[in-house]
Amino acid sequence: MTFWNFLQQNWPELLTLLRQHLWLVFVSTLIAVVIGIPTGILLTRKQSLRGPVLGVANVMQTIPSLALFGFLIPLPFIGGIGARTAIVALVLYALMPIMRNTVTGILGVDRNVREAAVAMGMTDRQILWQVELPLAMSVILTGVRVAMVIAVGVTTIAAEVGAGGLGVYIIRGLRQYDNNLLLAGAVPAALMALAADFSLGLLEQRFSVETKANKRRRALFSRIGLAAIALVILLAAYGAWRASRSQSQSIAGAPHVVVASKDFTESVLLAEIVAQMLEARGVAVARKFELGGNLPHDALVAGQIDLYPEYTGTAYTAILKHPPVTDPRVVYEQVKQEYAEEFKLAVSEPLGFENTFAILVRGAEARRLGLKTISDAAPHARGWRAGFGQDFMSRADGYPGFSKAYGLRFAEQPREMNLSLTYIALSTGKVDLIAGNSTEGRIAAMDLVQLADDRRYFPPYEAVYLVRTASLSRVPALGEVLEKLAGAISTDEMRQLNYEVDANKRGQVEVVREWIRKKGL
* pLDDT for residue 332 is more than 90: yes
pLDDT tens figures, 77-100: 776 667 788 888 889 888 989 999
Minimum mean pLDDT range among 2-11, 252-261, 473-482: 252-261
Read off the pLDDT of each residue in 297-307 and give the average, rounded to a whole number: 90
pLDDT tens figures, 188-236: 888 888 888 887 777 777 666 554 445 555 555 445 555 555 555 565 5
Rounded CA separation 58/323 (Å):
38
Rounded CA separation 216/109 (Å):
24
Torsion sign over Cα 247, 249, 252, 255: negative
Q: Of 403, 435, 439, whose CA–CA distance to 419 is shortest? A: 435
Rounded CA separation 398/390 (Å):
10
Domains 254-354+461-519 and 357-451 share a fold: yes
Where along the chain do its domains lie?
A: 11-249, 254-354+461-519, 357-451
pLDDT of residue 176: 58
Q: Of 482, 484, 486, whose CA–CA distance to 306 is shortest? A: 482
pLDDT of residue 238: 57
Reported confidence tier of residue 247, pLDDT bands at 50, 70, 90: very low
pLDDT of residue 234: 61
Rounded CA separation 444/440 (Å):
8
Check: CB of residue 110 under 8 Å from CB of residue 61. Answer: no
pLDDT of residue 259: 95
| Identity of residue 383 | G
**β-pairing verdict for 357-362 and 448-451:** antiparallel
- Residue 178's contacts (CB-CB under 8 Å, 6 or more residues apart) are 172, 505
pLDDT tens figures, 110-151: 888 888 888 888 888 888 888 888 888 888 888 898 898 888
One-character DSSP codes across 403-448: HHHHT---SSPPEEE-HHHHHHHHHTTS-SEEEEETT-THHHHTTE
- CATH fold label, 11-249: MetI-like fold (1.10.3720)
pLDDT tens figures, 9-31: 888 888 888 888 988 999 999 99
pLDDT tens figures, 444-477: 888 999 999 999 888 889 999 999 999 999 999 9
pLDDT of residue 507: 86
Torsion sign over Cα 478, 483, 484, 485: positive
Minimum mean pLDDT range among 75-89, 268-282, 303-317, 369-383: 75-89
* pLDDT for residue 243 is more than 60: no
pLDDT of residue 312: 93
pLDDT of residue 185: 85
Rounded CA separation 515/453 (Å):
30
Q: What are phi and psi of 465, to 5 degrees?
A: -110, 135
Q: What are the Cα distances from residue 417, in Å, to 5, 159, 435? A: 31, 19, 11
* pLDDT for residue 248 is more than 50: no
pLDDT of residue 359: 94
pLDDT of residue 254: 47
pLDDT of residue 239: 54
pTM as predicted: 0.66
Rounded CA separation 435/445 (Å):
17
Mean pLDDT, rounded, of the chain: 84
Is domain 357-451 annotated with CATH 3.30.530.20?
Answer: no
* pLDDT for residue 481 is more than 50: yes
* pLDDT for residue 252 is more than 50: no
Q: 55-60: long-range contacts (C-beta < 8 A, 24 or more apart)?
A: 57/95, 57/96, 57/99, 57/100, 58/96, 60/92, 60/93, 60/95, 60/96
Strand partners, 436: 358
pLDDT of residue 115: 83
* pLDDT for residue 261 is more than 60: yes
pLDDT tens figures, 392-420: 877 777 888 899 999 999 988 888 877 77
pLDDT of residue 249: 45
Q: Going along 40-161, which residue ranges are E strands?
A: none
Best CATH choice for the domain 254-354+461-519 from the list 3.60.21.10, 3.30.413.10, 3.40.190.10, 3.40.50.460: 3.40.190.10
* pLDDT for residue 177 is more than 70: no
pLDDT of residue 118: 85
Query: What percent of the chain is modeled with pLDDT above 70?
Result: 87
* pLDDT for residue 373 is more than 80: yes
Higher per-residue confidence, 228 vs 353 = 353
